[in-house]
Amino acid sequence: MTARMRPQTNAIAAAEYLAPNVPRELPWHSVPLVRATAQSLKGYGRLVADRRDYPIEIVTWPVAGWRQCDPGTGNEGGTTHGQFDFWWEGDVLYGKNQAVGSHYLLGWSQNPGAANPSGATQHSRVLLWHANYHPDGGQLFFPLNGEAFVCPLALPGDDVKPADFVAFYVDGGQGLYIHPNVWHEAVFPLAARASFYDEQGKVHARVSCNIAAEFGVFLAVPLAAPA
């Protein structure tokens, strides 16, 4: 079932990211996997070969009425950067973004009700309950040790649907820059643990979609290279 159920509110508090209120089992929506190239990423973002001084887009603050911001104002917050760590604990994938001081339960390798919270397990997929976008600026992810990774993205628009998502496989040694307003949920290394350089807008505005609650599915993102 992927019919839209518009929520009373889409906002997700910080505490909910570590304890998402989702069913123990839901159907899976399989996200198609493609190799990230300059062509396939058009509209979503860009591949990055060198993270040093990479330009991060900052969006001018929206105005409430018809009057526009003065030139050069409303976009002076700049960026923040830090390490973004990802690791599995059993069948549960966690992330910690030191750039903005946030900690997340990102997803599971099987339905939450069957997920083992500890031990060594295989991770051929990650089941996502949530996605978000940043209206204030773009975001850069670059693997500190050159790991390959996968990132699910959907083009801008608040009426996003599970079918809008595409999983981009990024070859080792490259980073990924995501344009403002593009839907995403961090990045997912193929390794059991990895750390990334993260840089993004300092305002860190975040608009969320609780996919599990709104559509009654988890996004199933493959953790593999494309065939």
pLDDT of residue 4: 58
Residue 88 belongs to domain with CATH number: 2.60.120.480
| CB-side neighbour CA atoms (13 Å) of 60 | 8
Q: Is residue 180 in some structural domain? A: yes
pLDDT of residue 40: 98
pLDDT of residue 220: 98
Number of domains, the chain: 1
Q: Which residue positions in the chain have pLDDT lower than 70?
A: 1-8
pLDDT of residue 1: 42
Q: Is residue 120 in some structural domain? A: yes
Q: Is residue 194 in some structural domain? A: yes
pLDDT of residue 32: 98
Give the pair of three-digit tokens for residue 115: 């997920």
pLDDT of residue 8: 67
- What is this structure's pTM? 0.94
Domain of residue 174 covers: 26-53+79-222
Q: Considering only CA atoms, which of 35, 31, 29, 30 is closest in space to residue 225?
A: 35
Digit-coded pLDDT (tens) for 200-224: 999 999 999 999 999 999 999 999 9
